Amino acid sequence: MKTIDFRHFKMFTDISQTGTTETDVSKEFADTIYKNANGIVAHDLALRIYRTTEPLTLTEEELAFLKSFIAGTTPLFQDSFSNNIVDNG
């Protein structure tokens, strides 16, 4: 299983990826999924991301969905997202 902490999300500060700033992206990211993605998986993830106060545990299906979804975001967010995935397996 893999986890991501959307409340303590480490966002790269520039292209060198040497610095990060910790940001709570839970509401903004959940809103983006809620407004722009279809299906029950998207709905469930949006609510879980918004409501959780702990790192979110993701199945492989959910992680694949999120990776596909963020393909339409900025390279900065895509790289930061990948950097925040923690493998607990």
Token pair for 77: 């967010």
When computed from its CA atoms, the radius of gyration of the chain, rounded to whole angstroms, is: 12
Whole-number Å distance between alpha carbons of 51 and 73: 22
3-state secondary structure 11-53: EECCCCCCCEEEECCHHHHHHHHHHHCCCHHHHHHHHHHHHCC
pTM: 0.91
Predicted confidence (pLDDT) per residue in 26-82, tens digit: 999 999 999 999 999 999 999 999 999 999 999 999 999 999 999 989 999 999 999
Domain residue spans of the chain:
2-14+22-87
